[in-house]
A and B are shown apart, each in its own frame.
Chain A
Amino acid sequence: MTPTLMFALAILFLPLLSFAFQIFFGSKIGRAAHWFSLAALGVTLSLALSFFANIFITPGYALLDVSAVWFSSGSFTVELGIYIDNIAAVMLVVVSTISFLVHIYSTEYMRGDPRYTRYFGYLGLFTFSMNGIVLANSLLMMYVFWELVGISSYLLIGFWFEKQSAASAGMKAFLTNRVGDIGMFIGILLLFMQLGTFNIQAIAEQVEFGAFDGTGLLLTIAGIMVFMGAIGKSAQFPLHIWLPDAMEGPTPVSALIHAATMVAAGVYMTVRIFAFLTPAALEFVAVIGGITALMAAIIAITQVDIKRVLAYSTVSQLGYMVMALGVGAFQAGFFHLTTHAMFKACLFLASGSVIHSMHHALHKIDDHSTDPQDMRNMGGLRKKMPITYISMVVASLSISGIPFFTGFLSKDAILAGTLAYYHLHHGWTIFLPISGFGAAIITAFYMFRLIFMTFHGEPARKDIHEHLHETPGAMTTPLIILSVLSLAFVFTIPSTVNPFNSQGWFTSAIHTGENFAGLDMEVVGEALHHAHEPAMMISLTVAALGILAALLFYLFKVVDVEKLTRRVNKLGLYNLSFHKFYIDEIYDAVLYRPFFWYTKVVAKFDWELYDQKFIDWWGWLTLKISDWSGYSDYTWLDQKVVDGFGKATRYFGKELRLSQSGVIQNYILGGVIGILSIFILFQAF
Chain B
Amino acid sequence: MNGLFSEVFLSALLFGAVTAAVPLLLAGLGEQMSEKAGVLNIGIEGMMLAGAYLGFVGAFYSESLWLGFLTGAAGGAAVAALMALLCVRLGLNQIVIGIALTLGLEGLTALLHHFQFSRSYPRLPAADPTVIPLLADIPVIGPAFFRHHLLVYLAVLLVVVMSYLYRRTQLGLNLQAAGDKPAALDVAGIDVIRTRTIAVLTTGALAGLGGAYLANVGAGLFIPFITNGAGFLGIVLAMLARGRPVWVLFGALLFGACLSLTTAMQVAGINIPTDVIQMLPFLAVMIMLVLFGRQASLPAALGIPYERGAR
Q: Are the chains A and B members of one assembly?
A: no
